[in-house]
Amino acid sequence: MSTPLFQRRRGRLQFVSIALVASPFALFGALAHADCTTTGQTTVCDAAATNPTTSTVGTGNVAAEDNRTVTVQNGSTLAVGDTSAIAVRDNANITVQTGGSVSANAVSNSGFYGTGGNAIDFRNNSTLTVQQGAQVLANGTQLSGEAVNPEGTGNTIVNDGLIKSAHGAAIWFQNTSGGNTVINNATGTIQTDVANGNVMGASGNGSVDFTNRGKVIGNLIFAGGNDALHVYTGSSVSGSISGGGGANVITLNGTDSATLGTITNFQTLQKQDSGTWTLSKTLASMGVTNAEVQQGTLILQGNNGTYTGTMQVDAGGTLQGDALSVTKAVTNNGLVRFQQDVDGSYAGQIVGAGALEKTGRGTLTLGAGNTYSGGTTITQGTLAIGADSALGGTAGGLTFNGGTLQLTGNVDVAATRAIGITNANGTIDTQGFTSTVSQGISGVGALTKAGSGTLVLAGDNTYQGGTTVAAGTLQLGTGGTSGSILGNVVDNGTLAFNRSDVFTFGGAVSGTGGITQAGTGTTVLTANNAIQGDTLVASGALAIGDATHASAALGVSATNAPQSLRPMAGGSGNNVQIAASATLGGYGTVNGAVTNNGTVAVADALAAFANAGGGSLTINGSLNNAGTVQVGGAGVGNKLVVNGNYVGNGGVLAINTKLGTDNSPTDKLVISGGTASGNTAVRVTNAGGAGARTTGDGIEVVSAINGATTQTNAFALANRVVAGPYEYTLQRGGSASADSWYLRTLQTATQGTGIGTGTSATQPALRPEVSLYTAIPSLTLLYGRALLDTLHERVGEESNQATAPAGTAPVLRTGWARVIAQKGSRMSDGNGIYGNQGPAFSYDFGGVQVGADVYQRQREDGSHDHAGGYFATGRIAADVTHADGADAGRDTVNANTVGLYWTHFGPSGWYLDGVVQGTRYDADASPHGVNGLKTHALGYAASLETGYPIALSPQWRVEPQAQLVVQRAAFADANDGAADVRFNSVNSMLGRLGVRVSKRWGESPERQHTAWVRANVWHEFRGETGTQMSSPDGGFVPFTSQLPSTTLELTGGLTAQVAKNGVFYASLGYQVSADRRLHGVNGKAGVRWGW
C-alpha cells in the first residue's frame, strides 16, 4: 500500500488516501510456513515446516494460559480460519517479529472468550508488540472479529507494523473498566477497511491511553472512559477523532509541524515537545475546557471568542494566533504570539510571567489590563494600544524587531520598561496624540516616528541605527537636562529640542521637515543639516556650529543639498523664525531667510560660548530684524555676514568696538549684495578703547560689499558712544564705500550750534560730559564764596550789641543762624568747552549756616572783639549746557563746612573781620544716556574784610569796604567708564571793593533797626579751573572753566532788633558780570540771639 502523509493546505493538515491490496500478505511478499513449538509457558513460531500453522496458540480464558510468552518469528505465519489465532490470558507477552504474521478469518465463531473470532485475544496486564514489517490481521467477514481484542485491563499494545481489520475495528477493548495503552509508533499502521469505520472500540467505560506516531486509517473513537490521546507530528488519522465520554486529554507531541483536524470530546488539551501544532477548529468545538502549552508552539486558527475555559502557556511554550483565535484569558508564562495578518482587536487579558510578540502585517489592538511581565516584542505590522497596561506589567520590556507601536491616545510608556530596537528597526506611531518615553531606548536598530502627534523622548537614547521623523513631531527632552539621540535624523516632520542645559547634537538632520527649539537651554547643531522645512526658535537658544564646528549649517545650500534639491538651494528652502524670548546663534551658516523677533547672537555672543572665542555667523538669505542682532561677544572682532537683504524693523544691532581712531578693532555687520532698509538702532559697547580723534572714514561697523546698498536712515545709534573726551557719531558713507557706516569723532560746524569757530572746518565731537565735569570746580568756588560772604550778611548789624559801657557787665554771648539761597547762570562765550571760558550752566544754591561767638571782649575805649565758629551744610546744583547747545546733564555738589571767625570793632565803629573755613565736597555728575561720575574734594577758604563807617548824621552812615577771599580745593581723580578724569587744583583769589549806605533808627535803645544798601565790585585774580580727560591722542586732554573776572553786585538789607537780645536780619542781592555772561540773585535771612 502507499503511505499516508501529512500535507499542509490553506493552513491545515490533510491526509492523502491509502491504497491497500486485497491480500494482507502483499505487504510482506511470500511468507514461509510456521512451525510453533511450546515449551512450558513459551511458544515460538518459526519458519520451519509445517508453515503456515493453522492451529490456535493457547486455549483462552483459563488459568493455564496465564503468564504465556508467544513469539512469532521472522518468516513465520500463524493463519487460522473461523477462530482465534492466539488466545491467552493474563500477564501474557506476545511478540510478532519483523516478517511475522498473525491472522484470523472469522466468520461466525465466537472464539475462546465468546467475543468473536479475534486474531489475538488476551485478558489483563499483557503486552502485545508488533514489530516493523509484522502484521496482525482480521480477514474474516465477522463484524466482531477484531485483529486485537484485549478482554481486560492493564494491557499495552506497541505497534510498529500493521494491525488491520477487514470488517470491524482493528482493536477492541472488551468489558473493561480499567486502563489500557496503545502505542502506534512511526512505522505502525492501525487500520479498518470499513468505510467511515472505527479503528478502535470498547464495550465498557475503561480508559485508553493512545499514542499515535504513525498512521490510523479510519475513525479514532474512544468510549466512555477517561481517555488520553497522544498525537505526534508526522502521524495521521484519516477519520474523525472523538474522546467519547469521560474526562479526556489530548496531548500534541513531536518536533515537526502538523495540523490537527476535526476532534471532539477532549476536555483537556496539552501541547508538549518542541514541535508546532495547528488547531484549525475552535477549542470549544473540540470540547476543550483546559488548554496548556507546555512546550513548542500551539497555533490557534479558529474563532475562540466564546471559549470560556483556561489557557496556560508554560515557560517553554508558545501560543500563536490572531485577535480572534487567541482565547480571552491567557495565563502566559511562556510566549503569546499574535500572528495578525489583518487588522483586529483583542479584548482579552493576558497575565503571567511570560512575553508577547506581535507578528503579521496587520494591526493588532490590545486592550488595557494585561499584567504579563515578560515583555513585548513587535516583529511585524502594528501593535496599537490605548494605555500602557496593554503592554503588561510595567517591569516588562518592549522590543522593536521590525514592527510599529501605535499609540491611540496620550499614552506615556511606563518609565520602568526597558526598550530596545533590533537591527530590524522599529516605529512609534503617535497618531494625533502626545506621548512620552521617559527612559532611554537602546539597541542597534533605527527608530521611526510616525503619526501626526508628538513623541517625546525624555531619556538619553543609545540606539545606533539613526532616526526618521516620518510625520508629526519628535521632541527630545521635557525641559530638563535629559533627552537625546545618536546618529543622523531624516526629518520629514518636526524635530524639537526641549532641554534646559547646553546640549550638543552631532547628527546630521535632513529631509523635508523642520526644527523647533522649544527648551530654555541651548541646542548646538554641529553637522550640515540640509533640511528643507522651516525652523522655529521658540525659546532658549539654537546654535548652528560651535567654535570647533564652524562648518555646521542649517538649511539647504548648493553645497550640502542632495543633487535633486540643489536647484532650490541658496536660502529659499528654509525659513527661520525667532521668537521674542529666543536666540539663534553660533559660528556656522544659516541657509534661508531669518525673521528675528528675539536675538541673533554671533559666535561667543551666545552665552553658552562665552569663553569660546570670536568668530562669524553667516546668513545666506534675508534678515528681518525686529529684535536684537548681538554681534558683540566677550571680545571684539565678531562678524555677521548677510548674503541678502537686511531689513530693520525697529530692531537693534549690538556691537563691541574698541573706540579709538580710524580702523580700530570692531564687530561688524557685513551686507553682501543686498539692500539695507528700514530702521535699526546700533548699540555700541566700548571694548576698552580710550577714545581718539578719527581723521578719515572712522571705524567701519556696517560694511556694504559686492554691490550692496543701504538707505540713508537704515541705521542710527541706540546709545551715546563715548570714550575719553570724545563723542562718536554714526555716519553713512566714506571714501571706501558710499553705503557703509562708520563711527567718527569728527563733526562739521553745521552739526551743532556754537561749534567750529576755530580755524578748522571740522573739529572733534567732544562729548557733553566734558562740559559737565568741567563745571564742577566752578561750582565749588561759588559755594565757598556764598558761605564766606560778608560780615553784615553773615551776622547782621553786629555793632548793635556793642553798647555796654566800659566797666559794666560784659556783652551778651551770642549765637546766630541763617539760610542762604542763590540762583544764577553762567553763559558761554560761544565756544563752550572748545574755548577757555568753559561751559555754560545755570545753578541753584541753598544752605544753612549756624554759628556762635565763643569769645567777646569790650574795651574801655569802646572797641570790642567777637570770635566764634560755625557749621554749614548746603548744596549747589547746576544744569550744564554743552557747546552745541544740548543739555549736558546736571552737576550736584553737596558740601559740609566748618569755619572760625574773628571780628574786631574799633572805637569809631570800623571793623576788621577774618574768616577761615574747611569744606568737604561730594560731587555727582549725572549725564544723559551714559554712566555718570562721582568725585570728592577738600576745600579751604579764608576771607579778610574791613569797613570804615562815616557818620553823615546820627542816623545815616556811609561805609567804604574792602575784602580779599582766597580758596583752594583738590578733587580726587575719577572714571566714568569711558575715560579717566582728573581735576586740577582749584585756586581762587577774589577781591571786593564796595560802599555801604545805612540808616539806623529805633523806638528805644533796646529796639534799634538798620536798613542798608551796598554796591560791590568783585574781581577774580585767578579763578580758572581745569579738568583733564584721558585720550590716546596725547595722554590727558585739558579743558578749562573760568568764572568772569569782574562782577558787579547790588545788595540791600535790613537788621531789626526784635527783642532786647534778639535780632532778625535779611538781604537781597543781584549780581552781573562785566561781560554780562554771569547773572545771579541771592536772598539771605538770619537771626542772632544773646544770653
Q: For 372-385, write each residue's pLDDT tens digit.
A: 999 999 999 999 99
The candidate with the shortest Cα–Cα distance to 4, out of 286, 215, 192, 220, is: 215
- pLDDT of amino acid 5: 28
Distance CA 273, CA 294 (A): 8
The three cell numbers of residue 1082 are 541771592
Q: Which residue has the cell 567804604?
A: 960
Q: Does the pLDDT value for residue 7 go beyond 50?
A: no
* Number of other CB atoms surrounding residue 511 within 10 Å: 19
Q: Does the pLDDT value for residue 662 go beyond 60?
A: yes
Distance CA 912, CA 903 (A): 6
- pLDDT of amino acid 761: 42
Provide the 3-class DSSP secondary structure of residue 287: coil
Q: Does the pLDDT value for residue 192 go beyond 90?
A: yes
Provide the 3-class DSSP secondary structure of residue 776: helix
Distance CA 716, CA 723 (A): 18
Q: Which H helix or E strand runs over 773?
A: helix 768-788
The more confident residue out of 23 and 913 is 913
Q: Please tell me what DSSP assigns to residue 933.
A: E
Q: Does the pLDDT value for residue 132 go beyond 70?
A: yes
Q: Write down the mean pLDDT value for the chain.
A: 90
Q: Does the pLDDT value for residue 808 go beyond 60?
A: no
Amino acid at 73: Q
Q: Which residue has the cell 578748522?
A: 760
CA 228 to chain centre: 64
Indicate the pairing of strand 101-104 with strand 77-79.
parallel
Cis status, amide bond into 52, omega within 30 of 0: yes
Main-chain dihedrals φ then ψ at residue 93, nearest 5 degrees: -135, 105
Sequence-ordered list of residues with C-beta below 8 angstroms from that of 737, at least 6 positions apart, any chain = 700, 703, 704, 705
651 pLDDT band (50/70/90 cuts)?
very high
- Which string of DSSP letters, residue by residue, matches 539-573? SSEEEE--TT-TT-EES--TTTS-GGGGGGTTTSS
Indicate the pairing of strand 741-744 with strand 726-732.
antiparallel
Q: Does the pLDDT value for residue 1034 go beyond 90?
A: no
Question: What digits encode the pLDDT tens for the residues 741-757?
Answer: 999 997 643 333 333 33
The answer to whether 118 and 111 are in contact (CB under 8 A) is yes
Q: Please tell me what DSSP assigns to residue 57.
A: B
Provide the 3-class DSSP secondary structure of residue 117: coil
Distance CA 473, CA 453 (A): 6
- pLDDT of amino acid 200: 92
Distance CA 53, CA 48 (A): 10
The strand pairing partners of 967, in sequence order, are: 941, 988
Quote the pTM value. 0.76
Cis status, amide bond into 50, omega within 30 of 0: yes
The candidate with the shortest Cα–Cα distance to 129, out of 70, 76, 175, is: 70
Distance CA 653, CA 646 (A): 11
The strand pairing partners of 1069, in sequence order, are: 1051, 1082
The more confident residue out of 175 and 422 is 422
Compute the residue count for the chain. Answer: 1091
Question: What digits encode the pLDDT tens for the residues 214-230?
Answer: 999 999 999 989 999 99
Distance CA 541, CA 545 (A): 12
The answer to whether 1017 and 1044 are in contact (CB under 8 A) is no
Question: What digits encode the pLDDT tens for the residues 13-24?
Answer: 333 332 333 333
1041 pLDDT band (50/70/90 cuts)?
confident
Mean pLDDT across the stretch 1050-1078?
91
- pLDDT of amino acid 19: 30
Computed on alpha carbons and rounded to an integer, the radius of gyration of the chain in Å comes to: 60
Q: What are the angstrom distances between the C-alpha of 428 and each of 453, 727, 1007?
A: 11, 63, 108
Q: 326-335, 401-410, 758-767: which has the minimum mean pLDDT?
A: 758-767
- pLDDT of amino acid 507: 98
The answer to whether 510 and 527 are in contact (CB under 8 A) is no
The answer to whether 754 and 831 are in contact (CB under 8 A) is yes
799 pLDDT band (50/70/90 cuts)?
low
The three cell numbers of residue 957 are 552812615
What are the start and end residues of each CATH 2.40.128.130 domain in the chain? 768-810+861-1077
- pLDDT of amino acid 883: 84
- pLDDT of amino acid 884: 83
CATH number of 768-810+861-1077: 2.40.128.130
* Number of other CB atoms surrounding residue 355 within 10 Å: 24
The answer to whether 8 and 25 are in contact (CB under 8 A) is no
User: Where does 251-358 have alpha helices with state H?
Assistant: 283-286
796 pLDDT band (50/70/90 cuts)?
confident
Buried b (16+ CB within 10 A) or exposed e, 991-1007: ebebebebebeeeeeee
Q: Please tell me what DSSP assigns to residue 861.
A: T
Question: What digits encode the pLDDT tens for the residues 710-734?
Answer: 999 999 999 989 888 899 999 999 9
Mean pLDDT across the stretch 978-993?
90
Could you tell me the sign of the dihedral formed by the alpha carbons of 524, 528, 531, 534, in that order?
positive
Sequence-ordered list of residues with C-beta below 8 angstroms from that of 954, at least 6 positions apart, any chain = none
The three cell numbers of residue 46 are 518459526
Distance CA 120, CA 725 (A): 132
Q: Does the pLDDT value for residue 388 go beyond 70?
A: yes
Q: Does the pLDDT value for residue 456 go beyond 70?
A: yes
Amino acid at 336: V
Q: Which H helix or E strand runs over 793?
A: helix 791-795
Could you tell me the sign of the dihedral formed by the alpha carbons of 655, 659, 665, 668, in that order?
positive
Provide the 3-class DSSP secondary structure of residue 611: coil
Distance CA 988, CA 839 (A): 18
Exposed/middle/buried for residue 696 (C-beta within 10 Å: 0-12, 13-18, 19+) = middle
User: Where does 47-190 have alpha helices with state H?
Assistant: none
CA 601 to chain centre: 20
The three cell numbers of residue 358 are 506581535
- pLDDT of amino acid 753: 33
Q: What are the angstrom distances between the C-alpha of 333 and each of 233, 294, 336, 354, 499?
A: 24, 10, 9, 4, 41
Mean pLDDT across the stretch 671-685?
97
Q: Does the pLDDT value for residue 833 go beyond 80?
A: no
Sequence-ordered list of residues with C-beta below 8 angstroms from that of 168, at least 6 positions apart, any chain = 138, 142, 143, 144, 145, 146, 192, 194, 197
- pLDDT of amino acid 411: 97
943 pLDDT band (50/70/90 cuts)?
very high
HSE of 747, CA atoms in CB hemisphere, 13 A: 21
